[in-house]
């Protein structure tokens, strides 16, 4: 695992030595798609849970 820590440190050092506008563009190029994908995944999961709970609630109300 030391190689992973060394690689991570090397990337962090390389990024810290870059020109600030380049740092910003690189971070945005990585974070924006990543955050969009995580938000999309959370939205899909919440939709699935909500649909499942609605079916259960509808089924229980039909039994009454």
| 23, 15 Cβ separation under 8 angstroms | yes
Give the integer Cα–Cα distance in Å for 40 and 48: 12
* pTM > 0.75: no
Identify the pLDDT of residue 19.
Answer: 96
Q: How far is CA 18 from CA 1, 6, 15, 25, 61, in A?
A: 26, 19, 5, 11, 61
3-58 confidence digits (pLDDT tens): 999 999 999 899 899 999 999 999 999 999 999 999 999 999 999 999 988 887 77
Give the integer Cα–Cα distance in Å for 27 and 32: 8
| 18, 26 Cβ separation under 8 angstroms | yes
Identify the pLDDT of residue 30.
Answer: 93
Domain ranges (residues) in the chain: 20-64
Identify the pLDDT of residue 25.
Answer: 95
């Amino acid at each position: 695992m030391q190689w992973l820590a060394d690689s991570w440190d090397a990337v962090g050092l390389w990024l810290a030595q870059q020109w600030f506008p380049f740092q910003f563009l690189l971070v945005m190029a990585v974070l924006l798609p990543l955050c969009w994908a995580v938000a999309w995944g959370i939205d899909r999961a919440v939709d699935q849970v909500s649909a499942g709970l609605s079916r259960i609630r509808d089924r229980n109300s039909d039994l009454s």
